[in-house]
Amino acid sequence: MTAKMKVPKLRFAEFEGEWEERKLGDITKWASGGTPSKDRDDYWNGEIPWISASSMKGNEFGDSNLKISKKGLEKGSKLAKQGSILILVRGSMLFNIIPVGVTTRDVAFNQDVKSIDVFDGNEVKYLLYWLIASESKLLNMVTGTGIGAGKLDLLDLKKLAVFVPTLPEQQKIATFLSTIDTRIQQLSRKKALLEQYKKGVMQQIFSQEIRFKDEEGKEFPAWEEKRLGEIGNFIGGGTPDTQNSEYWDGDILWFTPTEVKEGILTNSKRKITEQGLRNSSAKLLPAGALLITTRATIGDIGIAKFPCTTNQGFQSLVVNKNQVNIFWYYWFLCNKNELIRLCSGSTFPEIGKNKIIQIAASVPTQPEQQKIATFLFTLDSQINQIAQQLNRMQAFKKGLLQQMFV
């Protein structure tokens, strides 16, 4: 019987001919890992990274918070050489994702992980990208263990059909996709560095280690100590009767804490009517209001782009006319821990309006507030632009994976 042959939808022009169907187990060698005894200190805190589910982030594995010694390797674990593939075959995260990647150095790994070595005549990274492209198929193979974890059966994995081109075509595909991954990594690092810089510079600004100057290069006046209750009005929210249809599906945006994230808030999952607004005892907040979560979820903040209202999990801030709302948005981002520190309730943390309005803050003049707000908002815009580029590149890679493999 002749082998079944196929070709992908997207292919490099210099290659032709059909791909050959093989069983995954026919082109690979598999090995199981292990865990040295945790009662033996001499097995741990060595120099060999020990890979487990928690350290399988991304598609390259070369480090871990936990490391074992050479003795620990001999007495309970297994070494995967640089260039091996590691795949998680047991764990709760298997119900959602299939962690898989290539080792960038020699590493040890635990019993929930399998190492895969590719036989000569095949490209390791081609197989890695094939596994990534096959994630939905692998997710359908996950079964329960009875203790809340998922598992992938080794025999079933080895029986999977893999369509393989010639080695030069495998290498061309792997090199091309590696280039895409390099760009994704560069964008991810750039975004992380800018976020780190923003966090550090915010702390320096609000501690006044960094001060801005006016348009003429002169110092701004000293900051004044005020209570938050002096800089604007904090407004709670409410929920209309959920059984009354006249209160719902209107035109007024109605936010819940789970919908609030940093940045501009443009839409809510549910909307209420004017009758619903009156029934909830909440007030209509103007565009530009700062929506601050104060019940269960503490200190998350967003800026309302349109007039809106919220449920009772908020104390939203409408700043006075002599204050800059974007400045206070960043102030709350920088001082989130202060709200968390002051909240009460062990099972249902909350910080009330009476506590918030008494929080002390150093307040610059409105022109300096505007300078600070513009600077930090520009930083955020740069971060968002990189995030958009990153999302586009990740979507591009996903599309390639769907078309470049059979």
What are the pLDDT digits (tens) for 163-175? 999 999 999 999 9
Residues with Cβ within 8 Å of 25's Cβ and at least 6 positions away in sequence, in order, are 157, 158, 159
Token digits for 242? 């959920």
Model pLDDT, residue 4 = 54
Model pLDDT, residue 1 = 36
Model pLDDT, residue 145 = 86
Model pLDDT, residue 5 = 61
Q: How many separate helices (H) and strands (E) can be counted in the chain?
A: 10, 25
pTM: 0.86
Give exposure, 129-165, as e/b (b: 16+ Cβ within 10 Å). Answer: bbbbbbeeebeebbeeeeeebbbbeeeebeebebbbb
Token digits for 315? 């104390």
Question: How far is it, in rounded angstroms, from Cα 6 to Cα 28?
Answer: 21
CA 314-337-270 angle, 5° bins:
25
User: In whole angstroms, how large is the CA radius of gyration of the chain?
Assistant: 28
Cβ-based neighbour number of residue 200 at 10 Å: 10
Question: How far is it, in rounded angstroms, from Cα 69 to Cα 76?
Answer: 11
Distances, alpha carbon 189 to alpha carbons 48, 182, 192, in Å: 25, 11, 5
Parts of the chain with a pLDDT under 50:
1-3
